[in-house]
Chains A and B, each alone.
Chain A
Amino acid sequence: MATIEINNRISEIIDGKRVITKKPELLAPAGNLEKLKIAVHYGADAVFIGGQEFGLRSNAGNFSIDEMREGVEFANKYGAKIYVTTNIFAHNDNMDGLEDYLMAIEGTGVTGIIVADPLIIETCREVAPKLEIHLSTQQSLSNWKAVQYWKDEGLNRVVLARETGAEEIKLMKENVDIEIESFVHGAMCIAYSGRCVLSNHMTARDSNRGGCCQSCRWDYDLYAVEDGEEKPLFEQGDEAFAMSPKDLNLIESIPKIIELGIDSMKVEGRMKSIHYIATVVTVYRKVMDAYCADPENFVVKKEWIEELAKCANRETDSSFFEGEPGFEQQMFGTHSKQTTYDFCGMVLDYDEETQMITLQQRNYFKPGDEVEFFGPNIENFRVVVEEIFDEKGNSLDAARHPLEIVRFKCPHKVNSYDMMRKEMR
């Protein structure tokens, strides 16, 4: 019964064909203004960013209040929303300045904040009531009754613990009428978020205030104490004990996510590059749109999965959404894989008459290299780079300098913000 109700809510029969009318929001990360613009331009419905205080990624670029305002103006043109992460667990001395900060955020026109600490929730309600309040995954929200609690507290949306599976989310959706945001792609914490202070103990950096140094990605040796003796539980040549989880990747679960009525699909990674954001957002956008337009005839295309792999720097997996993870969902011995593609440049302009691309260089490339272009409004294509010129028209033996403006001829039309990458061989 319940499943049928959800189906009714998310779809309609139009001209005899079932169409999804309640599309989830595609929510992308952005560590700075450039990344925000790329995420929105490539099809994100919403972007989450960090401000300079009260957020959890001290190392990410993060936004000043003025930059937030500029981000909102840009996003408004696309009808996209901006959320600001303010998800630290505050200590007493973090309380100063919170009210002014929240009022300033509200003033920029962003839609809401992502919060874990009730201090920030309650303060926001008082001083910045126009902001939506979304509960952060730092609260490790794992059951429907706790979801009901936050609904009763007046929150607009909850982000679930990464440890929740599809069946669990289904029950939450059936029992509580609140927006649910769920992670679909990116790095995972191996611990319940918020319940890990390895960084505090090992490096005196507070993980719950943005100082996490990812001690969980290090190698350890496992021992047992037997009769007072320390006995290694590994043999010579064995891989060390590791807790590094594979990254999340739910591209093939998109139909299930949409049918469950999940409201927002969250891509993790405020530290990631524009190439990563552009690639992930484009693929998720395409798959979501394809499914919603014609769910009955939808199939996952191999090219989508291959495309996503082009920006991956770790192996990926679908747990917890598709089931409890086992050892196959962790990485032992290896910590990352070599990226298979280099991001070579971003298109600034294309002259249809001369077929000349103006490109901002991001990584080395030279004439004769086979490169691939992708973008939100083009199908991927490959070309071999011909002669390269600098801005003054001088011929170059290679594009060597980051952010250098170069030109070269390309018979296919491209658009500003399209990206060029090169397969590593």
Chain B
Amino acid sequence: MNKPELLVTPKSVSHVEALLEAGADAFLIGEEKFGLRLAGEFTLEDVKTITTLVHAAGKKVYVAMNAIFHNDRVPLLAPYMKAIDEIGVDAIYFGDPAVVMTKRELDSKTPLHWDAETIATNWFQANYWGKRGATRAYLARELGVEEIIEIKENADVEIEVQVHGMTCMFQSKRPLLGNYFLYQGKAMEVENRKEARNMFLYDKERGNKYPIYEDYNGTHIYSPADMCIIDELEELFEANIDVFRIEGVLHEEAYIVTVVEQYRKAIDAYFENEDTYIDMKEELVEAIEAIQPALRPMDTGFFFKETVY
């Protein structure tokens, strides 16, 4: 059994430093022109700075190119990938096959990690993209723990799963917030709130609140609860899941740091002795509950929830 890599999406360069301190093993960064729903916005200059910083600590840096690209962005893919190659990051996250094509054309040596969000649902797909250059697959969040384990047992690539944070459940190309304001005749709101990430949709019937925001890639809607499975990690350890992801998007820097610290403790404790981890669970959960925003309940996502169809 190997310790899983603890991956986090940071919000800023200084945040990366704090997260290294907190025990993160890997960082996924990038900019919204190429990457989806990142916690922070990082220019190529930032990527360079962070790579130096993180590599000096012996840890990993990945850049997101996992957007759904339209023709207008296709000419930008090769220059961006070349720049990333030169910086020497450890991998590129992708969902759109245009990135695979670009890698072939450039003969880029930077490995690919397959990240097609909601559609990454079985081991065959993971291996399919493995044959086309991916060394890792980031699984859909709508999978049960049994499904995740079966995927890992059959996968030829590393398997990454989200263990904490918000999950995206919807992406539209349309500016749905802006459209609503325009419909209401509030053109000013569009300007005022375009960059704001403090809005949510209230679902009266279910009493749920779904965070929502707009960016270059369209409109994104998030789950009503934050995933937290810090006290349910045994099966993932036993299955040798390669990467645990902590999703930082829409959370405060300090919150993400504390969460990373707790997962770091959990992983280290388990690999020291399973009982140490079990004894520690309550304390880990309490530490997160203490800082959990009032608006965000916690749940275990789809780990123990089946869907029908």
Contact across chains for A239 and B183 when beta carbons are under 8 A apart: yes
User: Chain B: interface secondary structure?
Assistant: mixed
Stretch at the interface among A62-70, A114-122, A340-348: A114-122
Interface string of B141-166 (1 = CB under 8 A from A): 01100010011001000000000000
Contact across chains for A206 and B142 when beta carbons are under 8 A apart: yes
Contact across chains for B199 and A191 when beta carbons are under 8 A apart: no
Q: Which residue of B lies closest to A121 (CB)?
A: B128
| A218 vs B124: C-alpha distance when bound (angstroms) | 35
Q: Does A144 contact B (CB under 8 A)?
A: yes
Q: Which residue of B lies closest to A119 (CB)?
A: B124
| A118 vs B123: C-alpha distance when bound (angstroms) | 11
Quick one: which of B77, B97, B147 has the most chain A CB within 10 A? B97
B74, B100, B119, B176: the one contacting A243 at CB < 8 Å is B176
Contact across chains for A200 and B98 when beta carbons are under 8 A apart: no
Cβ–Cβ < 8 Å partners of A34 in chain B: none
A117, A211, A245: the one contacting B122 at CB < 8 Å is A117
Q: Does A198 contact B (CB under 8 A)?
A: yes
How distant is B63 from chain A, measured CB to nearest CB, in Å? 19
Q: Does A58 contact B (CB under 8 A)?
A: yes
Q: Does A138 contact B (CB under 8 A)?
A: yes
| A126 vs B250: C-alpha distance when bound (angstroms) | 45
| A384 vs B305: C-alpha distance when bound (angstroms) | 58
Cβ–Cβ < 8 Å partners of A221 in chain B: 201-202, 204
Contact across chains for A168 and B71 when beta carbons are under 8 A apart: yes
Contact across chains for B71 and A143 when beta carbons are under 8 A apart: yes
How distant is A202 from chain B, measured CB to nearest CB, in Å? 7
Contact across chains for A325 and B174 when beta carbons are under 8 A apart: yes
B side interface size, CB within 8 A: 73
Contact across chains for B118 and A194 when beta carbons are under 8 A apart: yes
Q: Does B193 contact A (CB under 8 A)?
A: yes
B169, B189, B205, B212: the one contacting A197 at CB < 8 Å is B169
Contact across chains for B119 and A89 when beta carbons are under 8 A apart: yes
Known: A196-B169, A211-B308, A225-B198. A90 touches B71 (CB 8 A): no
Contact across chains for A327 and B182 when beta carbons are under 8 A apart: yes
| A180 vs B100: C-alpha distance when bound (angstroms) | 21
Contact across chains for A91 and B143 when beta carbons are under 8 A apart: yes
How distant is A267 from chain B, measured CB to nearest CB, in Å? 22
Cβ–Cβ < 8 Å partners of A196 in chain B: 118, 169-171
Contact across chains for B183 and A332 when beta carbons are under 8 A apart: yes
Q: Does B255 contact A (CB under 8 A)?
A: no
Stretch at the interface among A145-153, A304-312, A369-377: A145-153
How distant is A119 from chain B, measured CB to nearest CB, in Å? 4
Known: A143-B96, A192-B172, A221-B202. A206 touches B309 (CB 8 A): yes
| A195 vs B171: C-alpha distance when bound (angstroms) | 6
Contact across chains for B173 and A192 when beta carbons are under 8 A apart: yes
| A234 vs B174: C-alpha distance when bound (angstroms) | 20
Within 8 A of B (CB), among A223-265: 223-226, 228, 233-234, 238-239, 241-243, 245
Q: Does A299 contact B (CB under 8 A)?
A: no
Known: A143-B71, A192-B68, A206-B307. A223 touches B199 (CB 8 A): yes
Q: Does B196 contact A (CB under 8 A)?
A: yes
Cβ–Cβ < 8 Å partners of A138 in chain B: 119
| A91 vs B200: C-alpha distance when bound (angstroms) | 30
Q: Which residue of A lies closest to B175 (CB)?
A: A326
A168, A202, A224: the one contacting B196 at CB < 8 Å is A224
Contact across chains for A117 and B77 when beta carbons are under 8 A apart: no
| A233 vs B190: C-alpha distance when bound (angstroms) | 12
Contact across chains for A241 and B125 when beta carbons are under 8 A apart: no
Cβ–Cβ < 8 Å partners of A239 in chain B: 183-184
How distant is A284 from chain B, measured CB to nearest CB, in Å? 25
A116, A222, A223, A224: the one contacting B119 at CB < 8 Å is A116
How distant is A269 from chain B, measured CB to nearest CB, in Å? 20
How distant is A160 from chain B, measured CB to nearest CB, in Å? 11
Contact across chains for A143 and B74 when beta carbons are under 8 A apart: yes
A58, A149, A194, A205: the one contacting B101 at CB < 8 Å is A149
How distant is A141 from chain B, measured CB to nearest CB, in Å? 9
Contact across chains for A191 and B125 when beta carbons are under 8 A apart: no
Contact across chains for B142 and A164 when beta carbons are under 8 A apart: no
Q: Does A190 contact B (CB under 8 A)?
A: yes
Contact across chains for A144 and B74 when beta carbons are under 8 A apart: yes
Cβ–Cβ < 8 Å partners of A93 in chain B: 147
Cβ–Cβ < 8 Å partners of A241 in chain B: 176, 180, 201
Q: Does A360 contact B (CB under 8 A)?
A: no
Closest 9 CB pairs of A and B: A211-B309, A149-B97, A327-B179, A145-B98, A119-B124, A220-B201, A209-B309, A206-B307, A327-B183
Q: Report 6 cross-chain contacts, Cβ distance below 8 Å, ordered by A residue.
A: A90-B121, A119-B128, A143-B98, A194-B119, A197-B118, A233-B189
Tell me the A residues contacting B by CB distance below 8 Å.
58, 89-95, 116-119, 122, 138-140, 142-146, 148-150, 161, 163-164, 168, 171-172, 190-192, 194-198, 200-202, 204-206, 208-211, 216, 218, 220-226, 228, 233-234, 238-239, 241-243, 245, 320, 324-327, 330, 332
Tell me the B residues contacting A by CB distance below 8 Å.
68-71, 73-74, 77, 96-98, 100-102, 117-119, 121-125, 128-129, 140, 142-143, 147, 150-151, 154, 169-174, 176-184, 189, 193, 196, 198-206, 208-210, 212, 218, 221, 223-224, 294-295, 302, 305-309
